[in-house]
Structure 1
Amino acid sequence: MKAVEISAFGPPGVLRLGDRPAPVPAAGELLIRVTASGINRPDVLQRTGNYPVPPGASDIPGLEVAGEIVGGDDPELAAAGFKKGDRVCALVAGGGYAELCVAPIGQCLPVPKGLSDIEAASLPETFFTVWSNVFDRGRLQPGETFLVQGGTSGIGVTAIQMTKALGAGKVIATAGSDDKCQACLKLGADAAINYKTQDFAQEAKQVTGGKGVDVILDMVAGGYVARELECLAEDGRVVIIAVQGGTKSEVNAGLVLRRRLTITGSTLRPRPVAFKAAIAAALKKNVWPLIEGGKIKPVIHSTFPAADASKAHELMESNQHVGKIVLTW
């Protein structure tokens, strides 16, 4: 099979289209003939040598795919409601940038009715991440206020739509330009803050009438954490899922005590299959009907042929995109 390989750690140009042996599904896995592979920020970190591959995972980058089931144990597939020939999308721990990819059956979901494989390939990584962190860890409840940093990222466009569709009271997004703020509003955000020209903590307080935000999804960390604590409501939660602004944060412990604040976070890639399968089941029950009903829509910025994976990574690193970037096979 053809696969995009990381020839050496470095800039986007180190990505090369090469030949690899076709993977063979083990017990509990199925084989997908991939038509589209989603691109995510962790792929960039892996390419630069800053995100080690979990033990046992493929060294081929790529954490989400969509395509057709072409292999796997028929009874195992049937038990999960699948059969060969079905169109699925899947979250994988690696190996997604390839013509063939194995995936744990529990981490696969049917392509939502009405969606193309390109649209479906944009779903798993961000939807699993948002559900796990906003609703499981962050415990966002209907009527509560939610803020996402980086509202036009793949995570951001997912978080805005998912929280709004599931009953958040107010959804606030930050973005790095006025145009991106407008994009957030079009996706359903109640307010969008240009973090380059506005103080997001002050603005969030104003939007909430001084009450503060109940849940914040943070991909920045670093100096943002202290400011996020300032704009949290009582019993508020900040959930950290990336550290683009650095790993060191100063915390006002007095504020944490007085307002009963929670600082938490997680990574998804190294978690066990059973953990991810539980998220898949929750998505199928709670979110897939919203996608099929048109209340949540994939946001695709660009597609690239797999041979142009380096150009796709260049675009991601430019931060000019709104939504997802997808490779096609």
Structure 2
Amino acid sequence: MVGIVDVAKKANVSTATVSRVISKPETVKEATTKKVLKAIEDLKYQPNILARQLRRLETKTVMVVVPDITNPFFSNVLRGIESVAVSKGYQVLLGDTENNIDRENGYLNNLKQKKADGMVLLTARMNSFVVEEAADHFPVVLACEYIEGSNIPTVSIDNISGARKATEYLINLGHKRIGCITGPLSIVLGRDRLRGYNQAMAQYNLPMDHNWVQEGDFTYESGFNLMKKLLALQKSPTAIFAANDEMAIGAIKAINSKGLKVPDDFSVIGFDDIKISSIFEPPLTTIAQPAFQIGLRAMELLIKLMNKEQLNKDQFILEDHLIIRKTCKEYF
């Protein structure tokens, strides 16, 4: 197999000169370049692209870190990321933290070790200082979640506004006793969606019984179990805002398990608009996030960072939409 040494001998130059002709021809004299290129052609030498990338500290790979790959919401975000990455010649490596902060730190170390050229974080649960320090030295973009007060480029929706919109929809249907199954309050999404619920309830001067607010973990099982807990209250809510669709579907299953029906006995609204929400029976009323666009925009930002381009702005808030289906009913 022909190697760079063979080319160097034939062209009567050093291997370093051959390497420069391949990677930075503008740094080599024209006559020498012609001589090396002829030797390459005569010997049919094919440069080792991987070695070349390593020398340049370039992998043409980006890493995307998700908190839970089983959550179907992230599939459309990943499709948006991949659509841009592939068109620009990048491969996408996926890291699933399974909501484990140590694993999140481990993936960040991969970036520091130059195993990827850049990273899109769909989760930001580790110490904010650690993420910001990495972003000071490597291309990092946050999507879906964000770090409060950070200048790291971020693509998300206004989760407070979306949750307020969902709760206000139930209020406008006549509900006064509205419960909330939150996401984990240790993360910004859980806190923001609870804030939106609280804001809407306060704006309309509605009672907020602390028993009506239950902390879930964005899984179907937590929605099911916490709804059963809400149903057991002496004075239960008449409507539920669940902070994501999986928990909303779990809540509906719990209601059904007690011989009750949605929306006749309880109204339920979710958040995200995952695919099953429109297929589920009854189809789920929810707040839709532009998941594909979030991924697409995040990857576009990452490519600009990797190319050392100046960003006009670093915080992008995309628009969410209320999708009205069949799980909410007037209550007068």
Coarse TM-score class (shorter-chain normalised): 0.3 to 0.5
When the two structures are superposed, what TM-score results if normalisation uses the length of structure 1?
0.35
When the two structures are superposed, what TM-score results if normalisation uses the length of structure 2?
0.35
Greater per-residue strand proportion: 1
Greater per-residue helix proportion: 2
